[in-house]
Amino acid sequence: MTDLELTKTRRPGCDQRRVDDEVLAALRDYDTATKAGDIDGQVAFFAETWRSNSGTTKAELREQLERQGDRSGDAGKRFVLDDATVVVDGDSATVDPVKLRSPTGNGAFEFRMTRAPEGAWRCVSIALSGLADAPAEEARALRERILNDPERPGYHFVIPEGVAMPFDPNGAIYWKGRYHLFYIFQDTRLGRKADHWGHMSSTDLFHWRHHPTGLLDGMYSGNCFLNREGVPTILYHQHGLGNAFAVALDDELNEWKKLDSNPGSRRLSETPGITPRTREGDEHHGKYRSWDPFGWLEGDTCYAIFGGQRPAIAKSPTLEGEWKYVGDLFAHGVEGVPLDEDVSCPDLFQLGGKHVLLCISHRIGCRYYVGEWNNEQFHPESHAQMSWVDNSFFAPESLVDDRGRRIMWAWILDEPLFGTRSKHGWSGTLSLPRVLSLGHDGLLRMDVPEEIEALRCGGVGMGPLTVPAGEDLTADDVAGNSLELLVEMDSAEASAYGIKVCASPDGQEETSIFHDAREKLLKLDTRRSGPEDTPKAVEAAPFELKPGERLKLRVFVDKSVVEVFANNRQAIARRIYPSRPDSVRVQLFAVGGDACVHSLEAWQITPSNPW
């Protein structure tokens, strides 16, 4: 093949191929003349009507080339048309894209040609290629479409593009000074729809850098831990095959090696893989599934939780095996929770002198157990939910950072039961990071990391003031849909009191957040948050104030996400979809008695997502 690779044409037939060859021959002659510094050959390529973008004529071009003298530098130039298409219409033709490869720079161009009376093809114009820029224009159009979505959160992490179902966060690890987080998404780059792990990293938990996708095909739920050599290692569910391992090959965590012992590998027949092999008569035969795993290294032993309705513990001296079942994950049950309740997306860690098992049930969403890990079993002492009315808060994932903070994320579904709202070309939202600690009552304490304060701007404050029973008191200086609110209230008489966000002036749209003193619940009411076709529910979490204790709400509004933290010991997250541009008011309210607002602080939150 010559330096000028001219290969692709559009029009069939012998006569047409002959004409195409003539057009390409003219380009080949121009390429040869340019590299040789042949001024006559270069000028002859252009028609008499040709003008450059700056208005230079054919005669002026000759003068310029003659003044430049030595053109040996052009010897390194070449035109490549391996992706080009030739379109001929009578005595006119276009060739696009013509790719310039030069030591001083590259480019892609469209050449328009005309057939001169003597039959030679001459160039009438050169412009930037439209075809070569098509991928960039498509990407730009999608980005503009996403940016114009009024429901897209600005500081909750969202998928950069596309509809991810599922969108579980996975593989969280603090490594070499950065928070790394992976997430499930799907595409057809392999010629069929497949699940991959997207990858992002951050130094501050809110500004994320996207990495190349290094974990492809069949990647379902899993975690990341350090192996015996101190190298990040992922244990994940290989969709349709069973649980599997991948080991990092670089400190950016961009490149990974899937083990030869994984299910589906060519060497699986030589190795047992991570899923223990059992036979009829084995005490563990037929009991367990190779399902959502969680792995860790304890001393010299590798352990793994296999999720499902009967979660199991397996262990091995090495990653490659031989893996054997230890037995059931749970030593016993806890009151009010069926022992066969689905345990998926498990995450086991130490916290406050106890062990915590984060997980989901596909039926009820995110939940956790607190207890003890000993004698190769988990002994639960208590259980609590993190999602109540449905499963919309889903798939928890956590890490511990260099400050010893245990930080978790979860997937906030667009709608319950895995519904999506994808008209703007994306679906996939994570919760704010939550810093977890353990209270004396054996329940988790939760708050947003202090790094979010760097996103605050335009702070205002008000109070103390009284909210009369049955009235909505508008905070005149506070409005918007990208907010942080800190409100401290109490009431000796009110049956319910709290704050409304994303409220319209006439009250037709509003989202209510309040303490139900009679039922001892923290509630987030989205029944009036948006139009009839949007999710409507009252999420209600157990929450009781102690005698004399004030209600302290920390509320985050981020377009279509509302997250609420109450007195650091309860949290709720929901999606809302207001339809009115004036649904931006913040109001305080009380029912059944007056309430005292000791203070209200508010900030606008600057978006941290790139788009």
The pLDDT tens digits of the residues spanning 544-588 come to: 999 999 999 999 999 999 999 999 999 999 999 999 999 999 999
Which pLDDT score is estimated for 413?
95
Say which CATH class 14-132 falls into. alpha beta
Structure token pair of residue 328: 């059931």
- The Cα–Cα gap between 463 and 469 comes to 17
HEC profile of 107-119: EEEEEEEEECCCC
Residues of the chain with CATH 3.10.450.50: 14-132
Query: Do 26 and 34 meet the contact criterion of CB atoms below 8 Å apart?
Result: no
Q: Where are the beta strands (DSSP E) in 386-443?
A: 393-400, 406-412, 426-427, 434-438
CB within 8 A of 296, min separation 6: which ones? 225, 302, 303, 304, 348
Residues of the chain with CATH 2.115.10.20: 138-447
pLDDT of residue 400 exceeding 70? yes
Helix (H) or strand (E) holding 565: strand 561-566
Which pLDDT score is estimated for 8?
42
Structure token pair of residue 485: 């609110």
Higher pLDDT, 496 or 128: 496
Query: Do 84 and 16 meet the contact criterion of CB atoms below 8 Å apart?
Result: no
pLDDT of residue 4 exceeding 60? no
**Tens digit of pLDDT for each residue in 376-396?**
999 999 999 999 999 999 999
Fold of 455-605: Jelly Rolls (2.60.120)
Please report, for residues 175, 300, 309, 337, the alpha-carbon distance to residue 229 in angstroms, rounded to integers and kept in the order given: 14, 11, 33, 39
Which pLDDT score is estimated for 192?
94
Q: What is the arithmetic mean of pLDDT over 229-258?
A: 96
pLDDT of residue 203 exceeding 70? yes
What is the 8-class DSSP label of residue 550?
P
Of 99-108, 203-212, 432-441, the one with minimum mean pLDDT is 99-108
Which pLDDT score is estimated for 266?
61
Q: What is the arithmetic mean of pLDDT over 113-124?
A: 94
pLDDT of residue 133 exceeding 80? no
Which residues sit opposite 382 in a β-bridge? 370
Distance, C-alpha 295 to centroid of its chain: 23
| Closest-CA residue to 220 (of 173, 167, 261) | 167
What is the 8-class DSSP label of residue 69?
-
Tell me whether the omega of the peptide bond preceding residue 311 falls within 30 degrees of 0, making it cis.
no
- The Cα–Cα gap between 122 and 113 comes to 5
- The Cα–Cα gap between 468 and 593 comes to 7
Which pLDDT score is estimated for 179?
98
Instruction: Kindly indicate the confidence band of residue 7, based on its pLDDT and cuts at 50, 70 and 90.
Output: very low
138-447 has CATH 2.115.10.20 classification: yes
What are the start-end ranges of the H helices in 96-148? 134-147
pTM for this predicted structure:
0.85
